[in-house]
Structures are given as structure tokens and as C-alpha cells.
Amino acid sequence: MTTDEKTTMSSLPDERRTPLIRRLTGANTLWIGLVLLVLVAAFGAIRPDAVFQVTTLQFLLAETAVLLVLSVGMTFVIITSGIDLSVGSVLVFASVSSALAMNVVSGGDATNAGWGVIGFGLLVALVSGAVWGLLNGLLISRAKIPPLIVTLGSFGAAQGAALLLNNGSNVSGIPDRLNRTFGSGTYFGIPNIVIVAAVVTALGALLLSTTRFGRYTYAVGSNEEAARRVGISVRGHLTKVYLLAGTLAGLAGFMGNAFFRVAVVTGHETDNLNAIAAVVLGGTSIFGGTGSVVGTVFGVFIPAVLEKGLVIIGVREFWQPIAVAIVLVAAVWLDQTRRRARNQR
Amino acid sequence: MSRPLLEARDLTKNYGTVEALRGASFTAYPGEVVSLIGDNGAGKSTLVKCLSGVEQPTSGTLTFDGEPLHLSSPNDARDRGIETVFQDLAVAPDLDPAANMFLGREILKPGVLGFFGVLDKKAMRRQASEHFTRFGATLQSIDVPIAALSGGQRQSVAVARSVAWASKLVFMDEPTAALGVVQRERVLDVIKRVRDEGIAVVLISHNMPEVLSVSDRVEVLRLGRRVARFKASDTSVEELVGAMTGALTQEDADQ
Ligand SMILES: Nc1ncnc2c1ncn2[C@@H]1O[C@H](COP(=O)(O)OP(=O)(O)O)[C@@H](O)[C@H]1O
Ligand SMILES: [Mg+2]
């Protein structure tokens, strides 16, 4: 027993809390945020003209928006000490089914379709994402199959199903109106797709940090048996978390349609790994129990900034994955060291 | 004696081929402290899990307050005012003590925010802080993860949590095992205070002087069965150890 344990709480002011600054510096999030800031500042100092150009920033943000939405769902999953390898494939599936559905209700080509069709397309994207998420969730929580295996399965299955839907080709005919407003449209210079991603992220952050749903997410990841013994429905909660991740992947698919004006069936094979990397870079523990959506935002932008920054300052972009890998491994190593130190008490 | 609060009869519990309980019986009367003792592997923790809804016995019957009782989940026990400090504590190490105390019983903000499930963290922290003070859990600060606390502090948090919610019965499975002398005294004090509020306490402990000083009665479990029952005032450490090792048996104890 250490001596400071003799201080009882009654001798302290009511609600004694660790000072804000100590809590912030103790969190991984702050450090990751600093890394991001330093990167931006460094690239900005080398080529201020190129880095702080409006179009550079717009592009960076828009390209990152889709990954951000996937990563918000992934944050919840990883905090429960799970993993979701299927997000990229589910995105493709949702994107293809939504584009096809819009075409079908417009008599074959939805290019000139109105808001009714667009709304229907959004619904189809969300529902198809949700269905895959629900399937993942049920297999993981009811059948007790490890998340890695379940989502490895749906990773392949959703991609295969998406290819089957349109014989392996991309789907065009995305409504112009959708592309103009959400794809290429901006609001005070910010691409609308980014605003959507920001709103989703903000809601996700609030859900995780202020609600009972968020608290149960941490509890299940921290000690599943403890959560069960206080009467939390662990199975139900896990199902909901994977359902959320699937639904967000569906939304991301719809955002992709709006941005690229086509539902593409390739190019999302590594979305899952990028999302996982972003979440872990952002300080969420791969062992579950801790993490934050804010951290994930930083984690999404670090690889993106590295990629753009290296190109702008003339370093070959092949260095980017190497740089990300180093930061990633360092982040996990730090987390592990911290946990080991903590568990030795 | 009055009518038993909780009575378990002939419980068996098999884990595969392991028979953890072989016809165990157990009785707790209202407002008493009863110690459950036995050698390692006697089945004490298994019995506690069966009586708090965490595990379902393979066979046997329970009565609570004179009514037949079936516990299909921990919630069934909690709804009846039964709380448990598990031997493995069952706390979420990444959550702070207040969050752990209110886990599964969160206070929500009033109104619309509450409808959306928004937590009233301030209220929970305040109540937890008062409660920990009252029940002698000494913590430097209330917003660090449980994992950052010492083993003893973690144990006091688990004890404080259980007595916060119990209205009829608390099981404490080796609640003093990791404690220093001062903290141990404090837990024993908590047990007496809970008992004085009319709540029955079932204490599991390997410390015989502790058992004799705090209990009203003692029940002994050996190889998955109850082998002896004593009034704490008429027994001795030698007698208890004799019953635990099988040197001493009581004819009618497993009834
Ligand atoms: N989950 C389990 N699976 C298999 N065997 C178990 C399990 N839990 C307990 N046992 C066995 O049941 C017996 C009783 O264990 P336990 O109730 O923990 O004893 P005690 O708490 O009295 O030391 C032991 O032989 C133990 O190995
Ligand atoms: Mg035990």
C-alpha cells in the first residue's frame, strides 16, 4: 500500500478530479493530434504555397470523408475488442445495389432522376449495409465465431455478391442532381460530402462519449464477463455495434456514388485495413476498452496528410505506406507498454 | 430461528466431467452474517455463481423469502436485491470507479437528452463519491480507470458497489484476500454496517479469526457438499478446520 492511499476521499474537495490538462496529456489522443499538427506545419513550412491551397485542402478532405465514415464505425467495433474486415466490401455492395436500385426505379438510367429516387437510393444503401452488419453481429454474438473469421467471410462474400449483382462491372447512371449537391457541391468552400462526414463523426463521437450505448461499448470491450454480470445484454450490444458499422459502410458507399458519379466495384480492397490503421493510430486500443472518435479523426488524416505532403514536397509517394507503418507499429507498441505497466500494479 | 431468506437444496453443478457441486445445500437468514468456508476447490465460488444467476445449477432447488426461485440471469438476482462481489471482482478495468459502480444502472439526464440515452455523469460521480466515502473505499481520484488502482482499492470498489445496490443479500467471495490490515478492517466494518441495516451478508474467507469475529453462523463446504453448520459463538478455529478437512463431520448437515 502506498502512503497516498491513506488520503480518504472525504478529506478532498467534493468531486476531486484530475486536472483537465493532466487528463488530456495522459490521453493518446493529444499526442496523435500533435503528430498531425506537426506534419501539417512541416509540410506547410516547406511548401506553404502548395499545401495551403484551397483545392489541395478540398481534395484531401473529400477523399478522406468516405474513409472517415468507415472509421467511425470501426472505432466502436475495435473498442468492443472486435474487428470488422468487411467494411470495404460492404461499402462496394451498398454502392452497387443503391446505384442499381436507382436505375431500376428510373427505368434503366437514373442520371436525370429527382430527389425521390435519390432518397430511395440512400435507403437501399443504408439497408444493404445494415443487413451485412446485422449478419456479422449475429454470427459473432450468437454463434460465438471470432469477429476476425466472421468478417473475413463477409469481406469475401459481400465483394462477391456485389460483383454478381452487375456482372462484375461498375454501375453508372448516378443522378446528376446527387453529384452536383453532395458530390462536387461545396458550402462556404467545404465540400458537402465532407460536411456529411463531419456530422456523422460528431454524432458518433457524442454517441460514444456521452451515452449509455457508448458506455456499454467500452464495458463490453474492457471486460465482457463483468458487463454480463451487471446485467448488460452483451450479445445484443455486440449485434448493435456491428449493425452500426455496417450501416455506416452503407452510407459511405452512397457518399462514394455521389462523389465519383459511378458505383465502382474495385479499389476498396484495403479500406478495411486503412480504417483499422486510422482507428489504432488514433489511440484506440486494439485490445478493446479504450479509444475515441476524436482520435480516429486524427488517425484518418495522418496517412492522408503524409501522402499528399510527400507528393507536394517531392518525396516519392512510395514512402507513405512505410511512414504510416512506422507510426502505426509505434502506436500499438506504446499502448501495449502502457497496459503492461498498468496491469503490473 | 426465523424463516430463511435464501435456501438452496441439493445443488449440483457439472462443468463437463468436473462435479463442482455435488448436492450442496446452503441457508442464509435475514439480516445475518453467515460465512461460507471450505478448502480451495470445495465449490464456494461455484455456489455463489449459482446463487447470483451467473451460472445455472445442473439440478437442485432455490427458495427466496419462502417462494421458489429460478435465476436465469444475473438480473433475476439483482431484481430481488441480491448483489455479489465476485472472487475475480468482475469490474471493467478501463472504466473509472464511478462508471463501474453504476454499470448497468446508469443515471440518465432528464428530458430529451435522457431519451437519447445521454448519461448524467456528474450525478453518478457525485453519488459514487459520497458512497465510496461512506463505505471506506479510499481513492486519490475518482476518474482514473480501475486498472490504475491497487488490488486492494479495486477490491474496495467492488465491495462498495455491491453494498450500494443490495437490499436483501450480499455475497462476498473472498473480499479481503488482497487487502492490507487497515483495508481489511474497513471491509469487516462495512459488513457489520450492512448487516445492521437488515441486509444478510454471505462472506467467503480463508481467514478463520476473521470469520469467527464477524459471523453469526458458519457453513462449511467440502467436495461440493455442505458438511457442517455452526453458530459462530459456539465454535472454534480447530473445529472449523476439522470440518473443512473432513476430520469432523455432522450427520444432518447436508439436509
Ligand atoms: N468454469 C469452470 N470450468 C471447469 N471447472 C470449473 C469451473 N469453475 C470451477 N471449476 C471447478 O470446480 C471446482 C470448484 O471450484 P470453485 O467453486 O472455484 O471452488 P472454491 O471457490 O471453493 O475454491 C474446482 O475443482 C474447479 O476446478
Ligand atoms: Mg473461490
Q: What is the pLDDT along chain A (345 residues), one digit of tens a residue?
A: 333 333 343 333 444 555 666 555 556 677 778 888 888 888 888 888 777 777 777 778 888 999 999 999 999 999 999 999 999 999 999 999 999 999 999 988 888 888 999 999 999 999 999 999 999 999 999 999 999 999 999 999 999 999 999 988 999 889 999 998 887 777 887 888 999 999 999 999 999 999 999 999 999 999 999 999 999 999 999 999 999 999 999 999 999 999 989 999 988 989 999 999 999 989 899 999 999 999 999 999 988 888 888 888 888 878 888 888 888 888 788 777 877 776 665
CATH number, span B1-81+168-255: 3.40.50.300
Is the distance from CB of B153 to CB of A24 less than 8 angstroms?
A: no
Distance of CA A182 from the midpoint of ligand 2 (Å):
60
Q: Whose CA is nearest to atom 7 of ligand 1?
A: B15
> How is residue B189 written as a grid cell?
466494518
- The C-alpha atoms of residue A68 and residue A62 are separated, in whole angstroms, by 10
For residue A155, what pLDDT is reported?
97
What percentage of chain B has pLDDT greater than the value 70? 98
pLDDT of residue A6: 37
Residue closest to A28 by CA, chosen among A344, A245, A330: A330
How far apart are the C-alpha atoms of B17 and B58, rounded to whole Å? Answer: 12
Type and span of the H or E element at B165: helix B151-165
Q: How many percent of chain B have pLDDT more than 90? A: 78
Spatial contact of B50 and B76, defined as CB atoms under 8 Å apart: no
From CA A27, how far away is CA A19, in angstroms rounded?
13
The crossing angle, in degrees rounded to 10, of helices A212-222 and A192-210 is 70
pLDDT in tens, A222-262: 999 999 999 999 999 999 999 999 999 999 999 999 998 99
Residue A67 to residue A297: CA distance in whole angstroms? 10
- Give the number of other Cβ atoms within 10 Å of residue A82's Cβ: 25
pLDDT digits over B135-164, tens only? 877 777 778 899 888 888 888 899 999 999
When mean pLDDT is compared across A302-316, B10-24, B63-77, the lowest value belongs to: A302-316
CA of B37 to the centre of ligand 2 (A): 10
Distance B240 CA to ligand 1 centre (A): 21
How close A33 comes to chain B (CA, Å)? 22
Contact A96, A265 (CB under 8 A): yes
The complex scores an ipTM of 0.91
Q: Where are the domains of chain B?
A: 1-81+168-255, 91-165
C-alpha cell of residue B155: 477490491
Unique residue bearing C-alpha cell 456514388: A257
Q: Is the CB of B42 under 6 A from ligand 1?
A: yes
- Please say whether the beta carbons of B117 and B82 come within 8 A: no
pLDDT at B167: 94
Out of A211, A342, A343, whose CB is closest to B117? A211
> Are B108 and A212 inside 8 Å of each other by CB?
yes
Which ranges of chain A does DSSP label H, i.e. alpha helix? 20-26, 28-46, 48-51, 54-79, 87-105, 115-141, 147-165, 176-178, 192-210, 212-222, 224-229, 234-260, 271-281, 293-312, 319-343
Say if the Cβ atoms of B75 and A231 lie within 8 Å. yes
Per-residue pLDDT tens for B213-245?
Answer: 999 999 999 999 999 999 999 999 999 999 999
**Sequence-ordered list of residues with C-beta below 8 angstroms from that of A225, at least 6 positions apart, any chain:** B88, B90
Q: Which residues neighbour B130 within 8 Å (Cβ) at sequence distance 6 or greater?
A: none
For residue A216, give how far its alpha carbon lies from the nearest alpha carbon of chain B (Å).
8
pLDDT in the model for residue A3: 38
How large is the average pLDDT for residues B8-12?
96
Q: Give chain B's length.
A: 255
Distance CA A139, CA A151 (A): 9
CA B241 to chain centre: 22
pLDDT (0 to 100) of residue A338: 73
pTM for the whole structure: 0.91
B208 lines ligand 1 (CB under 6 A): no
Window B:190-249, CB contacts with A under 8 Å: none
pLDDT score for A12:
39
The three cell numbers of residue B180 are 492490507
